[in-house]
Amino acid sequence: MADFDDFPMSDPEPEEPPVVVTPAPVIPIVDIPTAEPPPSPSQHGDDQSTFRDSPSEEETETGQSEVDSERPPSTRRKTRRKKKRLVNGVDMTPPAELLRKAEKKAKKYRSDKKVDECIAELVRCTALSRVVYGDGDWRLAEAHTNLAAGYLELRGLAPQAQQHAEMSRSILLGGVHTSHSSDTKARILEVLVNMHLILGRALTSQKKFREAEHSLNRASKVCEERLKVPGLNSLEQTDLETRVAIAQGKLYLADKNPSKAAGFMEKAEDLIKENHGEDSVQLIPVYQDLGRIEQSKGDDTDHDRAVEYFLQAHSISGVSYESGSVEIGRTAYALAMAYSASNIAEGEASAETYLEECLGIYQVTYGPHHPETLRVQDERSRLLVRMGKQEEALEALRFNLRPKMETFGEYSEEVAESHQLSGTIRLTQGKMEPALKSLKKAHMIQSNLFGAGHKKAKATQQLIDMITKTPSVAAKQTSTDSKKPHFSAIVGRNTQLGGFKAALF
């Protein structure tokens, strides 16, 4: 609003004495909605009323702007002031309302794959839960469990996840949690299952298999106890049992026990088919794990069966996702690796086909310089070498070298691998000098990164020594050394020591 000094002045009026106004004491303002009455319990459930009380950021930006455009300016300013309850510059929003907003933001950031923002909101939820509910409440344990799941699933930080899961366990097992409704009891048991589940997965990631087995067995037993709660949601219960079975299968797969791992994964497969259908996307990781379990059997591996599992996962991905999506590229890459490791006739040709499919999707989605695209390029080059297409593999390595340098750096492990693979290919072709040149570049990078005593640098040095001992390279090295002058062309043999000053005296 413009100041009064900006308007033309009219005839002067007699001045009135100033009125002294005594400031009233500051009283916290409580917002009372007057535009429409609050919804009654019969019209909305608890979740819907909570959602209306604490709208998300997108609703505030879009919905509030539409309402503001229909109101006069003075009303708009008042509405904007109500977004924050400030008293003497202090935000007086109740902690319970802040907790609801933080929980909604954490869910939104997780769905948008904003890892740092999601972790920050989960930390805020944990602090606010302690303020709202107290130190010994089961809802504080739930907040710690959610934070542990965020650390494990979003960042892969197993020690942090273990720490928060153990804090949740101490809260749940150290206090008395009474409930007067079956819904609350079911939720408390769900928190207990999730706590044991996250703890078991975190211990599995750290290869603490016996402790992880104990924790996951506890999760399975609590799942069975939860079935006794009346009025239970059967779909939620089945999903919980599926997650526990998958975690147990992954545990025994990492512990190299394929028979037990296959049993739990097949149980998860049956549960998903029963509740979500035979074309559910939840079956994709289960089929891929079943394929890996089959591949881990060593001499008893049935490669045909393993490839069949990966092929089923890729088929579901092709039906469930749009053409050219990243999910299809990932299942195509896993299927290509399965074909590459199999003994099936024409398996390498099929592997090349699916690798090219994955590479085409990644180049369009990520670009040629993305680490995922470069990883697929490397696998394709190795596959071409096994297929006997050395020149095509060398061409792919040369094409891939410059993007690798720009992405990882000139002195990086990825660039050293390209030089080493190129030198190995030249060595198999009998081209000793180009092979020696590439291997020396790889050895220089490996020595700078890991040290000359590292196993990778030692292996490369052994190849270099083997090449230098061959007659052709050794003869050329001897002739080159014989052509070198035995003295400097600039400084003669009889030059006195001490340089320029010594010559003067």
Which pTM does this prediction carry?
0.74
- HSE, CB side, 13 Å, CA atoms: give it for residue 439: 24
**Residue 345: partners with Cβ closer than 8 Å, 6 or more residues away:** none
- Give the integer Cα–Cα distance in Å for 337 and 350: 10
Question: CA–CA distance from 86 to each of 25, 83, 267, 411 (Å)?
Answer: 15, 9, 55, 55
Element (H, E) at 65: helix 57-69
Reduced to 3 states (helix: H, G, I; strand: E, B; else coil), residue 454 is coil
Per-residue model confidence as pLDDT tens for the chain (505 residues): 444 344 344 444 444 454 444 444 443 433 434 344 444 433 444 443 333 333 444 444 444 444 444 454 444 444 444 456 666 677 778 999 999 999 999 999 999 999 999 999 999 999 999 999 999 899 999 999 999 999 999 999 999 999 999 999 999 988 767 677 888 999 999 999 999 999 999 999 999 999 999 999 999 999 999 999 988 888 999 999 999 999 999 999 999 999 999 999 999 999 999 999 999 999 999 999 999 999 999 888 888 999 999 999 999 999 999 999 999 999 999 999 999 988 776 889 999 999 999 999 999 999 989 999 999 999 999 999 988 899 999 999 999 999 999 999 999 999 999 999 999 999 888 888 899 999 999 999 999 999 999 999 999 999 898 888 887 776 666 655 555 555 554 554 454 555 544 444 4
Instruction: Please give the structure tokens belonging to residue 387.
Output: 């297929």
DSSP 36: S
Write out the two tokens for 430.
């009998």
Please give the single-letter amino acid code of residue 219.
Answer: A
